[in-house]
Structure 1
Amino acid sequence: MNLRCIIIDDEPNAVNLLEMFIRQTTEWQLLAKCYDALEALAFLKEQTVDFIFLDINMPQLTGMELAGLLPKTTHIVFTTAYSEYAADSYGYTTLDYLLKPITLKRFYAAVQKIETHFHLKDRGVTVPPSAPATEEYFFIKSGKTFHKLLLHNILYFEGEKEYVRLVTSSEQLLVYRRLKDIEEQLSHPFIRVHHSYIVNIAQLDKIQDNHIFIGDKQIPVSEKFREPFMAAIRQRIF
């Protein structure tokens, strides 16, 4: 996908790493490398981009301060060594939140997420904002216990009235929350496919006759969610 982006970061090594990842894994146009917020503001007044990579801890203007000066529609991928700014990033059109040091694996996951977003947008599909994942795990309360779960181990979420059943390959947890609330905290590779199901695309085994198969579990894909789901799948078809 031919997207236009810029990097805004005062650390040359961080800029060089992102540039290398972009050239290795995408067909994006890297239009500029800006080493402070003022340079970025001047560039963005003259040029249009699809999204920006934005460091947070910078001199003169921080990344958060710069984000507040940009149009609300500006798509941002935050890059930072500090996880505590994640909550503040929700107030912007945030595509992802990358914690330094950024690995190639994590960057590639961000590429899939970014390209899926713009692919759906180009097709006229409304793309709901999602909170960026700042870590590869989270804690979930089931009963009186907080369980630590690795995101990639989750197979799917199943809504059951006021509860949600979270299923991994080794356990199932029942959580007193609405499926919609959980959906709002998730991002790629998780996607809603049915009124009662959110699945981890990375864990599905096959798709057949409007059904997803994850191990022995057969999950229906409803008409309402079929197009966004298939758009995400088409990103990975050879």
Structure 2
Amino acid sequence: MSLKCIIVDDEPNAVNLLEVLIGQTTQWTLLAKCYNALEAMAFLKNNTVDFIFLDITMPHLSGMELAGLLPPETKIVFTTAYAEYAAESYGYATIDYLLKPITLKRFLAATQKIESAFTKTMLPTAISAHKADADYFFVKSGKTLQKILLKEVLYFEGEKEYVRLVTSTEDLLIYRRLKDIDEQLESPFVRVHNSYIVNTELINKVQDNHIHIGTKQIPISDKFRDRFMEMVKKRIF
């Protein structure tokens, strides 16, 4: 995916590392390297970017202070050595929060999350029976986009910052939150647990407060039981 970004950081080594990671692992265009917030503000007055890599602890004007001066829709990836700012950072249009030193593995995970934020068609916004055969989405794996038919998905399983997508032939990790996926899915998908969304059309059986789907046995939690059972009752003969 082609995106435009800038780096705002007062540490030359941190800037150089990000520049190398961007150049070696993405198709993004790095428009500028700014070594303080004032440089960034001057650049952004005359240039548009898709997102900003923004350090937090900088002299004169911190990254948080700069974020507060930017248009509220400006997307930001914070980069810092301090974990304590994480909660505050999500008061802005934050895509991710990278702790220094940034590893290749963590940066690659961030690239998926960043590109997902700019991919409006990652998942269909609605599912209807008459067009179910045409519903599909793409999952990014390395530099490959893999096509998945929605009707073939058995379940989604949340695993911290990732979601595991399982079909009868695929087992893939997506760098997204289960909550975000749940908000985009409609019937026949239903949330049955804090960690699971299932495709009700592919359920084998429901027994002892568990769903059997494919080779997986999934618990039904108290929080989601009523909603799920209402759907089941409509199909009982």
TM beyond 0.5: yes
How much does 1:214 deviate? 9.0
Quick one: distance in 1 between partners of 2:121 and 2:71?
18
Quick one: distance in 1 between partners of 2:26 and 2:201?
30
How much does 1:151 deviate? 3.2
Going from structure 1 to structure 2, the CA distance change for 1:155 and 1:111 (only over 3 Å counts) comes to: closer
Going from structure 1 to structure 2, the CA distance change for 1:152 and 1:90 (only over 3 Å counts) comes to: closer
Taking only the aligned residue pairs, the percentage that are identical comes to 62
**Paired residue for 2:29?**
29
Match runs of 1:48-87 below 5 Å: 48-87=48-87
**Which letter maps to 2:119?**
H
Quick one: distance in 2 between partners of 1:30 and 1:16?
12
Partner SS for 1:101? coil
Going from structure 1 to structure 2, the CA distance change for 1:4 and 1:209 (only over 3 Å counts) comes to: farther
Going from structure 1 to structure 2, the CA distance change for 1:15 and 1:118 (only over 3 Å counts) comes to: same
Q: What residue ranges of structure 1 are gaps of 5+ in the alignment?
A: 126-149, 157-186, 202-207, 220-238
Quick one: distance in 1 between partners of 2:176 and 2:162?
14
Partner SS for 1:195? strand
Q: What residue ranges of structure 2 are gaps of 5+ in the alignment?
A: 126-158, 166-174, 204-211, 219-237
Quick one: distance in 1 between partners of 2:40 and 2:31?
11
Q: Which has the larger radius of gyration?
A: 2
**Paired residue for 1:41?**
41
Q: Bigger relative contact order, structure 1 or 2, given CA contacts below 8 A and separation 6+?
A: 1
Going from structure 1 to structure 2, the CA distance change for 1:46 and 1:153 (only over 3 Å counts) comes to: closer
8 A Cα contact 2:37 2:66, kept in partner: yes
Quick one: distance in 1 between partners of 2:82 and 2:193?
29
How much does 1:218 deviate? 7.8
**Paired residue for 1:100?**
100
Q: TM-score, normalised by structure 1?
A: 0.58
Partner SS for 1:21? helix
Match runs of 1:1-238 below 5 Å: 1-120=1-120, 151=160, 188=176, 190=178, 191-192=181-182, 194-196=189-191, 216-217=215-216
Q: How many residues align?
A: 161
